[in-house]
Amino acid sequence: MLEIRPDNKAEPATDGRKEKRLIKCVVWDLDDTLWEGVLLEDAEVRLRESVVEIIKTLDARGILQSVASKNDHTKTMAMLEAMGLREFFLYPQINWNSKASSIKSIAALLNIGMDSIAFIDDQSFERDEVNFSLPDVLCIDTANLGDLLDMPEMMPRFITEDSRVRRLMYISDMERKRAEEEFIGPKEEFLATLDMVFTISSAKEEDLKRAEELTVRTHQLNTTGRTYSYDELNYFRRSDRHILLVSSLEDVYGSYGKVGLALIECLPEVWTIRLLLMSCRVMSRGVGTILISHIMKLAKSGNARLRAEFVSNNRNRMMYITYKFAGFREAEKVDDLIVFESDLTRIQPFADYVRVEILD
């Protein structure tokens, strides 16, 4: 949808329209769900028909997967390994805790919201327990497994390069976390061992699918919660009064992919950050202020005041703190919208432990 601005230029409307719910992680029960039979009771269990195809298709779409099973951990992991499925499940919770407790652990370890999790189980009791304790989780009866891949929640509009390797990027992140836990010394010294390279560039057409995906998938480190379509982002990319920036991160463990997006409206005297977001996967890497510092430098060189919009969604307070930490002050507040402003007298330097590359 386009709206006609007073200057007669057509600009995509940003009315905060609600996007369809997208699942980021499918959590599987095992007994009589992933496989037919009960592992600790039956002489043999067999994979349910078509389950391998479902798992591999979800993985290719960039949907993560895990396990919440009341079972013996050692025997269960050995069975998943024997079936060739162990590698697909991140942070499997195989214990005698409640399924809700296991799902909470998975969400915390993946750093995702409950509303982006689906739980598959054959037992109505288990689904009801999860539904009662975690009402935002989408509970699915195993009997409906055949329809899973056609559910709108399981069908992202684009499958990007980042989507295809999302599980592998999370596995790399597990290695980073293990290294950090074993490291003795200040966090800054550990971050220096990662040899991080943070790249900022103007969005190209080939970046737009991932950029749209970021606006849909990123909720915690998102200043406004607005979503933008491919066409809207392409409009901003080509507009002479907007700047659309993307950022990526890599280190010694591999690439995080494209993790940041910023949309700035540039009027002659005032620049406004309409959207600033960063993937939750880089929250602990100390790179959150780099993109905003770069934008501040650009505005200062353009002799413009810099403003920034913020809309709370009850999960993005970290971005409010980021603006405050960067020296922005609240200039206006209208309903849920806070408008920050910076006088650009104090711009934080880039952290010493990150090499920043600015590309055209």
> 49-79: per-residue pLDDT in tens?
899 999 999 999 999 999 999 999 999 999 9
Return the minimum-mean-pLDDT range out of 12-16, 95-99, 255-259: 12-16
Q: What is the DSSP letter of 4?
A: E
CATH topology of 25-154 equal to that of 161-359? no
**CATH top-level class of 25-154:** alpha beta
| Other Cβ atoms within 10 Å of 78 Cβ, number | 13
Query: Alpha helix locations (H) across 183-309?
Result: 187-193, 208-217, 230-238, 290-301
pLDDT at 300 over 50: yes
Backbone angles phi, psi at 262, to 5 degrees: -140, 135
Quote the CA–CA distance of 300 and 326 in Å, as a whole number: 14
Residues 6+ apart with CB under 8 A from 67: 27, 28, 29, 30, 34, 76, 80, 89, 92, 93, 94
The answer to whether residues 351 and 287 touch, using CB atoms and an 8 Å cutoff, is: yes
Q: Domain ranges in the chain? A: 25-154, 161-359
Q: Which residues of 307-333 are buried (b: 16+ CB within 10 A; e: fewer)?
A: bbbbbeeeebeebbebbeebbbeeeee
What is the structure's pLDDT at 285? 82
pLDDT at 337 over 70: yes
Per-residue pLDDT tens for 8-54? 344 555 444 445 788 999 999 999 999 999 999 998 999 998 999 99
Taking each continuous run of H as one helix and of E as one strand, the counts in the chain are 11, 17
What is the structure's pLDDT at 12? 58
- What is the pTM (predicted TM-score) of this model? 0.83
pLDDT bucket at 281, cuts 50 / 70 / 90: confident
Q: Per CATH, the architecture of 161-359 is what? A: 3-Layer(aba) Sandwich (3.40)
What is the structure's pLDDT at 15? 43
What is the structure's pLDDT at 8? 36
The answer to whether residues 28 and 68 touch, using CB atoms and an 8 Å cutoff, is: yes
What is the rounded end-to-end Cα distance, in angstroms, of the chain?
29
